[in-house]
């Protein structure tokens, strides 16, 4: 279960929210995107990357028909 805490950023393609992932006991970032095609592409690309300098992809979360890309939360940085 994920508890959304508040919006931390917004850009041309979507918004980013800070949340707490209760099952994993960790803060995460949730990204929404208006274009489903862009959302699918970004989620796929992030799922293929594994590098210490790239934010870690944790999965997809859906709530109230809104889909979120879930990544680790990096404070003081940008996604």
* Segment 21-66, tens digit of pLDDT: 999 999 999 999 999 999 999 999 999 999 998 899 999 999 988 9
Identify any residues that bridge with 4 across adjacent strands, giving them in sequence order: 19
Q: Looking at the whole model, is its pTM more than 0.85? A: yes
Q: In the structure, what pLDDT confidence band is assigned to residue 68 with cuts at 50, 70 and 90?
A: very high
Round to whole Å and give the CA distance between 78 and 12: 14
User: What per-residue confidence (pLDDT) applies to 36?
Assistant: 93
Q: Which two tokens stand for residue 79?
A: 């996604």
Round to whole Å and give the CA distance between 30 and 21: 10
With left for phi above 0 and alpha for psi between -120 and 50, is residue 59 left, alpha or beta? left
């Amino acid at each position: 279960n994920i508890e959304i805490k508040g919006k931390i950023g917004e850009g041309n393609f979507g918004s980013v929210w800070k949340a707490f992932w209760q099952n994993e006991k960790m803060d995460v970032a949730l990204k929404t995107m208006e274009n489903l095609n862009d959302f699918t592409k970004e989620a796929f690309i992030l799922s293929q990357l594994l590098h210490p300098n790239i934010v870690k992809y944790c999965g997809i979360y859906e709530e109230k028909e809104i889909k979120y890309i879930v990544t680790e939360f990096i404070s003081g940085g940008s996604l």
